[in-house]
Copies of this chain bind each other. A is one copy, B any other.
Amino acid sequence: MSGERPLRLGLVGLGTVGGGVIRLLQTNEALITRRAGRPIEVVAISARDRTKDRGVDLSRFEWVDDMMALATRDDIDVVVELIGGADGPALTLARAVLGAGKPFVTANKAMLAHHGLGLAGLAEKAGVALKYEAAVAGGIPVIKGLREGAAANEISRVYGILNGTCNYILTTMERTGRSFGDVLRDAQDLGYAEADPSFDIDGVDAAHKLSILASLAFGTELNFADVDITGIRHVIAADIAEAAALGFRVRLVGMAENSANGLFQRVHPMLVPVNHPLSHVDGALNAVVADGNFVGRLFFQGAGAGDGPTASAVVADLIDVARDEYGDPFAMPVSSLARQPKADAGKRIGRSYVRFTVQDRPGVLAEIATAMRDAGVSIESLIQRGASQEDGVLVVIVTHASAESCVIDTLARLSGSESLTGAPMVMHILD
C-alpha cells in the first residue's frame, strides 16, 4: 500500500487553513496513508506573500509564484484552493484546474455560492472531482451527510447554525446580558470576528453556505441570489432576555424549504425553543438539521471554523479523491438539478416575535393592537416593560401562527406612526 503512487497536491493559499492542512498531513501522515490507500503529499505551494512566517516549515515544498502553473503540471494530481473570494484568482484557478482535467478541492463558499453550478459542469465534463466539504460548517461532514448519507430521502427542510461568529456573539450576549456592540468588539479582539465583520454579522457568509446545502438537499439548482438575508446587527440584549423569558433562545438560522410553492431560502435571527437541539449549540459551534421523509430529523454538530476542523474537512475530501470515491459535486448531474422559482415567503404560516420601541404615552398599545387586528394577526402574548431603553418603552409581542405577509402588513400599517421611536424587529419562531 505504501508502495502505491502518492496523490500529489498543489496547495494554493497559506493562511490559517492552508497551514492547518500542512500540519494535519504531517501529523497524521501514517494514518492518512492507511486510510487513503496511498500517501497524500504536498508537492508545490503558492500564496501571495512568500516571506510571511506561517509557523510551519515550508522548506520541503516547492514554492510556485504563478499558481496558475499548477493547473497543467504533470506532477500535480489535485489542486487545493484556500485563498477565498467569490471571483478573482480563486475562480480563475478553479476553471483552469477543472478545465485541465484535474480534481479541485476548495473551502471557498463564496465562490461556490456564485459559481458552483458552472464549476460542477466543468468537473462533470472532465470526469474529475470538485470537492468542498470545508465550505460549509467547517469540520462537520454535512456535505457528505446530504450528498450521500441522506441521499435516499426527499428532504423538505434543511436548516442550521452556519456562522460561528454570529453564534459566538449571540450566545455571549445571552450569557452575559451585554450589548451587541460590546460583544462584537470583544470578539474582534479575540480573533473570533474579522476587523470588517459585515460578511459574518450581516448573514452573507451563512447565506453562501445555505444556498449550497439547499441545492444538495433538494436536488435544485444552486441559487444564492434568492436567499433572503438579515443579520444580527439589530438584535438587542432585551430581545434575548425577552426570548429567554418566553422559553426561546435567539440564533441566526439559515433555513431552506422546498415545496410546490417553490424554494424558500432565508438567513434570519430566529427564536429557537429551548427543547430544540439548535438551542444547545453554543459559542462558535455550527449545526445542521435535515428533515427527510424516511430518515426523520438528522442533526449534525461540530466546530464550524478554525484551522484544525477546516483542515479536517479538506483532507477528508483529499482522501475521497485518493480512494477514487467521488462523483457529481451536487449529487447528480447539473442538468438533472431542478430549477425552482423563489417561494413567496409571505405565505409561510408561523408564529413571530415582534419588538416595538414606543413612546411612553397613552394609546400606543391600542394603536399597535389595532394595526395587528386589521392586518389579521392575533396576539399570543404581549409583554410591556417599564422604560428600560434609552429611546422608549419596549413592547414585545408573540403572535399566534399567521401568514408572514400579515406581520409585514402590520408593520406597514404602523409605518410613519409617531408612537414608534425605532424600527420594529421581527424574528420568526422555529416551531
- The answer, yes or no, to whether A246 is at the interface (CB within 8 Å) is no
B219 adjacent to A35 (CB under 8 Å): yes
Looking at the assembled complex, report how far the CB atom of A128 sits from the nearest CB atom of chain B, in whole angstroms: 14
Q: Which of A315-362 contact B (CB under 8 A)?
A: 315-316, 318-320, 323-328, 331-333, 336
Contacts of A312 in B (CB 8 A): 150, 152-153, 292, 294-295
How far is it, in angstroms, between the C-alpha of A34 and the C-alpha of B327 when the chains are bound?
13
Given A144-B148, A296-B308, A325-B325, verify A336-B27 contact (CB < 8 Å).
no
Q: Which of A1, A35, A280, A309 has the most CB of B within 10 A?
A: A35
Residues of chain A from 270 to 316 with CB closer than 8 A to chain B in the complex: 277, 280, 292-303, 306, 308-309, 311-316
A37 contacts the other chain (Cβ, under 8 Å)? yes
Partner of A34, one of B28, B37, B139, B336: B336
- Is A149 among interface residues, defined by CB-CB distance under 8 A? yes
Residue of chain B at shortest CB distance from A324: B327
A20 contacts B by Cβ under 8 Å: yes
A45 at the interface (CB under 8 A from B): no
CB A383 to nearest CB in B, in angstroms, measures 28
Contact A35–B320 (Cβ < 8 Å): no
**A 146-158 to B, binary, CB cutoff 8 A, 1 in contact else 0:** 0011111110000
- The A contact surface, by secondary structure, is mixed
Q: Is B154 a contact of A144 with CB atoms below 8 Å?
A: no
Contact at A150–B316, with CB atoms within 8 Å?
yes
A401–B107 Cα distance when bound, in Å, is: 42
Interface string of A132-165 (1 = CB under 8 A from B): 0100000111001100111111100000000000
Across the interface, A316 reaches (CB within 8 A) one of B148, B314, B324, namely B148
Please give me the residue from chain B that is nearest to A216 by CB atom. Answer: B35
The answer, yes or no, to whether A64 is at the interface (CB within 8 Å) is: no
**Most chain B CB inside 10 Å of its own CB: which residue of A24, A151, A324:** A151
Interface: A411 (CB within 8 A): no
Q: Which residues of B contact A28 (CB under 8 A)?
A: 152-154, 293-294
Rounded to whole angstroms, the CA-CA distance of A295 and B27 in the bound complex is 13
CB pair A141 B152 closer than 8 Å: no
Nearest CB of B to A158, in Å: 14
Which listed residue (B152, B313, B326) contacts A32, Cβ 8 A? B152
A318 CB, min distance to chain B CBs, angstroms: 8
**Residue pair A35, B331 in contact (C-beta under 8 Å):** yes
CB distance from A173 to the nearest CB of B (A): 19
Give Cα A72 to B34, complex, Å. 33
Contact check, B152 vs A148: say whether CB atoms are below 8 A apart.
no
- Chain B residues in 8 Å Cβ range of A292: 139, 312
Taking A28-B153, A325-B148 as contacts, is the C-beta distance between A294 and B332 under 8 angstroms?
A: no
Bound together, the chains give a CA A32 to CA B331 distance in angstroms of 11
Give chain B nearest CB distance to A274 CB in angstroms.
10
A31 within 8 A of B: yes
Q: Which 10 A-B pairs have the closest CB atoms?
A: A141-B149, A152-B315, A139-B295, A295-B312, A299-B301, A294-B308, A294-B312, A298-B302, A296-B303, A325-B325
> Could you list 8 examples of A-B contacts with CB < 8 Å?
A32-B151, A35-B152, A152-B311, A294-B315, A296-B302, A297-B303, A299-B300, A301-B301
A: which residues have CB within 8 A of B?
1, 20, 24, 27-28, 31-32, 34-37, 133, 139-141, 144-145, 148-154, 219, 277, 280, 292-303, 306, 308-309, 311-316, 318-320, 323-328, 331-333, 336
